[in-house]
Amino acid sequence: MKPALRFGPLIWALALSCSLATALPEGAPPPFALGAETVVPVDFYDMDLDLVFDALAKTGTGRAIIRFHAPEAGYPLMDMVAEPTALSLNGSPLAPSLLEEINSPDGRTKIRVLKQHVFAFSMNTLEIQYRFPSEEVTYANGGIRVGFFMGDVGSENQRGFLEKFAPSNLEFDSFPMTLRVHLKNSNSTHQLFTNGEIISQSETDYTVRFPPYFTPSSFYFHLTNQDFQVRQATYQGLTAPIPVTVYASSTDLASRGLSSATNVLSELEQTYGPFTHERAVAYITPNGGGMEYCGATITSLSALEHEFTHFWFARGVMPINGNAGWIDEAIASWRDNNYPSHSTLSSSGSLLAGFPDFQRMTPMAAYSSGARVMGHLDYLFRANGGLKPILKELFSEHKRQGISTPEFQAFVETQSGKDLSGLFAKHVYGTGRRLEAPSKVESPHHPRPFTAAEYKALR
Ligand SMILES: [Zn+2]
Are residues 419 and 399 part of one domain? yes
Residue 371 within a domain: yes
Expressed in angstroms and rounded, the spacing between residue 63 Cα and the centre of ligand 1 is: 32
DSSP secondary-structure letter at 429? B
Expressed in angstroms and rounded, the spacing between residue 446 Cα and the centre of ligand 1 is: 7
Expressed in angstroms and rounded, the spacing between residue 291 Cα and the centre of ligand 1 is: 7
18 pLDDT more than 90: no
Expressed in angstroms and rounded, the spacing between residue 349 Cα and the centre of ligand 1 is: 22
Are residues 397 and 298 part of one domain? no
Amino acid letter, 268: L
> Cα 133 to chain center, whole Å?
20
Expressed in angstroms and rounded, the spacing between residue 307 Cα and the centre of ligand 1 is: 6
365 pLDDT band (50/70/90 cuts)?
very high
Residues 6+ apart with CB under 8 A from 83: 96, 101, 130, 131
Expressed in angstroms and rounded, the spacing between residue 455 Cα and the centre of ligand 1 is: 17
Are residues 104 and 25 part of one domain? yes
Average pLDDT over residues 236-245: 97
Expressed in angstroms and rounded, the spacing between residue 319 Cα and the centre of ligand 1 is: 12
Are residues 277 and 255 part of one domain? yes
Residue 406 within a domain: yes
Are residues 308 and 325 part of one domain? no
Residue 220 within a domain: no
Q: Which pLDDT does position 433 carry in this prediction? A: 65
Specify the number of domains making up the chain.
3
Expressed in angstroms and rounded, the spacing between residue 45 Cα and the centre of ligand 1 is: 29
CATH code at 300? 3.30.2010.30
Are residues 185 and 92 part of one domain? yes
Amino acid letter, 369: S
Q: Which pLDDT does position 393 carry in this prediction? A: 98
Q: Which pLDDT does position 448 carry in this prediction? A: 79
CATH code at 123? 2.60.40
Are residues 161 and 58 part of one domain? yes
Report how far residue 198's alpha carbon sits from residue 191's, in angstroms, rounded to the nearest whole number. Answer: 12
* Backbone phi, psi, residue 3, to 5°: -55, -30
Report how far residue 268's alpha carbon sits from residue 272's, in angstroms, rounded to the nearest whole number. Answer: 6
Amino acid letter, 438: P
* Backbone phi, psi, residue 414, to 5°: -65, -45
Expressed in angstroms and rounded, the spacing between residue 366 Cα and the centre of ligand 1 is: 9
Are residues 330 and 301 part of one domain? no
3-state SS class at 433 = coil
Residue 363 within a domain: yes
438 pLDDT more than 60: no
Expressed in angstroms and rounded, the spacing between residue 345 Cα and the centre of ligand 1 is: 22
Expressed in angstroms and rounded, the spacing between residue 332 Cα and the centre of ligand 1 is: 6
Are residues 9 and 156 part of one domain? yes
Report how far residue 424's alpha carbon sits from residue 187's, in angstroms, rounded to the nearest whole number. Answer: 57
Average pLDDT over residues 92-120: 96
Average pLDDT over residues 406-415: 97
Expressed in angstroms and rounded, the spacing between residue 339 Cα and the centre of ligand 1 is: 15
pTM higher than 0.85, yes or no?
yes
Expressed in angstroms and rounded, the spacing between residue 371 Cα and the centre of ligand 1 is: 11
Residue 283 within a domain: yes
Expressed in angstroms and rounded, the spacing between residue 138 Cα and the centre of ligand 1 is: 27
Are residues 158 and 9 part of one domain? yes
Q: What is the pLDDT of residues 144-153, one digit of tens each?
A: 999 999 988 8
Expressed in angstroms and rounded, the spacing between residue 375 Cα and the centre of ligand 1 is: 17
439 pLDDT band (50/70/90 cuts)?
very low
Please say whether the beta carbons of 430 and 269 come within 8 A.
Answer: no
Residue 272 within a domain: yes
- Domain limits for position 291: 229-312
Are residues 160 and 114 part of one domain? yes
Out of 281, 312, 343, a domain closes at: 312
Residue 345 within a domain: yes
Q: Render 211-251 in DSSP notation, one character per residue.
A: -TT--TTT--EEEE-S--EEEEEEEE-SSSEEEEEEEESSH
End-to-end CA distance of the chain: 31
CATH code at 411? 1.10.390
390 pLDDT more than 80: yes
Are residues 260 and 131 part of one domain? no
Q: Render 73-101 in DSSP notation, one character per residue.
A: SBEEEEB-SSPEEEEEETTEEE-GGGEEE
7 pLDDT more than 50: no
